[in-house]
């Protein structure tokens, strides 16, 4: 049976283009379209789509308002179609918190004549989203219990890799860690634009007891701070192991990513971190498609570090499964147990 999709966009032109793109794949069938949020919500119970593509900027109910109605009344996997702007980035990150699975950027604004350029990505995201258990979507807004155990300051580092479904899991993880967490945290989250990295960092910083920010070039790592590597850049850490396996001052070095690779590359981030911190590295792989992170986690294991992956509670189980299949996962845990495992690993 093909994946049944509802396309929601206020522009007839965009509805037609998006529907044609999705229908070009034999595994997908666009069963209906809607010109606004109210029409979409009214249609859902009659057509029961497997996935919805949802525009952000619409008259009446905008995308975020529509999404809230969908999640409250008819929980369904949703892929957001967003434009390149700071405002749209902020709203898109809020949509992920409310329950959207992922998002695809329109190449040139709301009316993107060149949207054909993201055909492959949109099809891939719709196929992945349609497989997500809506029961997991309901859990995204659940606030985890904050941990209050006092941590002992030990020179370790946590490096996290995530892709589709990752922002939602990152919020659950970071809001579970205490304010006295004793290790720096490096985060590689696949994301298509610097605007979205900034919006995600701001969102996580507002909701976490730990400071969360976009990593800056030549920035010195601080214990208990989380750093998102910006989209379009690669990471290298600068520093060395000193006496008694303690590090000297370690700083972040950013360079433009090689064209054609996932950005930022989780493999490259983890390999750079493991090279400096060796057995003091704790590697985490969360939700995402593909296998980025397998080589990085393998490198962490080679140096004697610890590796933890999210189990099938991942919205998308591709990246965690790839690490498990490679035999380099020390622990496989549900999302709500990973924060506790990280605390054990660094204290």
Q: Which of 82, 102, 112, 163 is catalytic?
A: 163
| 253 and 331 together in one domain | yes
Lowest mean pLDDT among 124-138, 165-179, 263-277: 124-138
Average pLDDT over residues 128-153: 64
Residue 97 has pLDDT above 50, yes or no: yes
Length of the chain: 347
Q: Which of 82, 190, 203, 208 is catalytic?
A: 190
Q: Cα(164)–Cα(95) distance, rounded to whole angstroms?
A: 13
- Mean residue pLDDT across the chain: 88
Residue 152 has pLDDT above 60, yes or no: no
Average pLDDT over residues 213-229: 93
Look up the CATH number of the domain holding residue 221: 3.40.50.180
Output the pTM of the full model.
Answer: 0.89
Give CA 315 to chain center in angstroms. Answer: 10
Q: Which of 9, 88, 267, 292 is catalytic?
A: 292
- The three-class DSSP label of residue 159 is strand
Q: Cα(117)–Cα(107) distance, rounded to whole angstroms?
A: 8
| Surface-to-core class of residue 194, CB atoms within 10 Å of its CB (0-12 exposed, 13-18 middle, 19+ buried) | middle
Q: What are the Cα distances from residue 187, in Å, to 158, 218, 332?
A: 8, 16, 19
Contact criterion met (CB below 8 Å) for 58 and 37: yes
What is the structure's pLDDT at 151? 44
Domain tally for the chain? Answer: 2
Average pLDDT over residues 259-285: 90
Within 8 A by CB and 6+ apart from 321, the residues are none
Look up the CATH number of the domain holding residue 51: 3.40.50.2300
What is the structure's pLDDT at 153? 44
Residue 76 DSSP label: -
Q: Is 53 among the domain residues?
A: yes
Alpha helices in 112-165 (DSSP H): 119-130, 134-139
Q: Is 163 a catalytic residue?
A: yes
| 120 and 194 together in one domain | no
What is the structure's pLDDT at 238? 87
Q: Is 61 among the domain residues?
A: yes
Q: Is 96 among the domain residues?
A: yes
Q: Is 20 a catalytic residue?
A: no
Q: Is 313 among the domain residues?
A: yes
Q: Is 303 among the domain residues?
A: yes
Residue 113 has pLDDT above 70, yes or no: no
Q: Is 148 among the domain residues?
A: no
| 123 and 227 together in one domain | no
Q: Is 272 a catalytic residue?
A: no
Q: At which of 73, 107, 139 does a domain end?
A: 139
Q: Which domain holds residue 131?
A: 3-139
pLDDT, tens digit, 9 for 90 and up, residues 60-81: 999 999 999 999 999 999 999 9
Q: What share of the chain is helix, strand, coil (3-state, %, to 5)?
A: 40, 20, 40
- The three-class DSSP label of residue 276 is helix
pLDDT, tens digit, 9 for 90 and up, residues 238-248: 886 554 555 55
Residue 114 DSSP label: T
For residue 345, name the pLDDT band (cuts at 50, 70, 90). very high
């Amino acid at each position: 049976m093909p994946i049944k999709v509802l396309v929601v966009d206020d522009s007839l032109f965009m509805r037609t283009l998006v529907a044609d793109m999705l229908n070009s794949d034999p595994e997908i069938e666009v069963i209906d379209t809607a010109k606004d949020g109210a029409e979409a919500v009214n249609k859902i119970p009659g057509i029961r789509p497997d996935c919805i593509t949802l525009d952000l900027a619409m008259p009446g109910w905008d995308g975020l308002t529509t999404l809230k109605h969908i999640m409250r009344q008819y929980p369904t996997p949703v892929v957001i179609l967003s434009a390149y702007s700071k405002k749209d980035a902020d709203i898109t990150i809020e949509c992920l918190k409310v329950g959207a699975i992922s998002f695809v950027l329109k190449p040139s604004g709301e009316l993107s004549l060149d949207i054909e350029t993201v055909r492959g990505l949109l099809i891939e995201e719709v196929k992945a989203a349609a497989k997500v258990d809506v029961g997991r979507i309901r859990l995204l807004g659940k606030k985890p219990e904050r941990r209050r155990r006092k941590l002992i300051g030990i020179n370790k580092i946590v490096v996290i890799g995530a892709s589709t479904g990752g922002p939602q899991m990152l919020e659950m993880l970071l809001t579970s860690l205490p304010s006295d967490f004793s290790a720096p945290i490096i985060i590689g989250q696949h994301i298509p634009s610097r605007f979205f990295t900034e919006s995600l960092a701001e969102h996580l910083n507002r909701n976490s007891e730990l400071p969360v920010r976009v990593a800056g070039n030549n920035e010195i790592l601080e214990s208990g701070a989380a750093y998102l590597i910006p989209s379009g850049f690669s990471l290298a850490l600068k520093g060395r192991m000193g006496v008694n396996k303690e590090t000297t001052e370690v700083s972040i070095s950013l360079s433009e990513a090689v064209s054609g690779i996932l950005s930022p590359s989780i493999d490259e981030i983890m390999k750079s971190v493991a090279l400096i911190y060796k057995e003091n590295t704790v590697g985490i792989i969360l939700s995402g498609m593909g296998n980025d992170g397998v080589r990085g986690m393998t490198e962490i294991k080679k140096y004697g570090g610890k590796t933890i992956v999210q189990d099938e509670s991942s919205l998308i189980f591709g990246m965690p499964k790839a690490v498990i299949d490679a035999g380099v996962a020390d622990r496989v845990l549900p999302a709500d147990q990973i924060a506790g495992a990280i605390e054990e690993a660094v204290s």
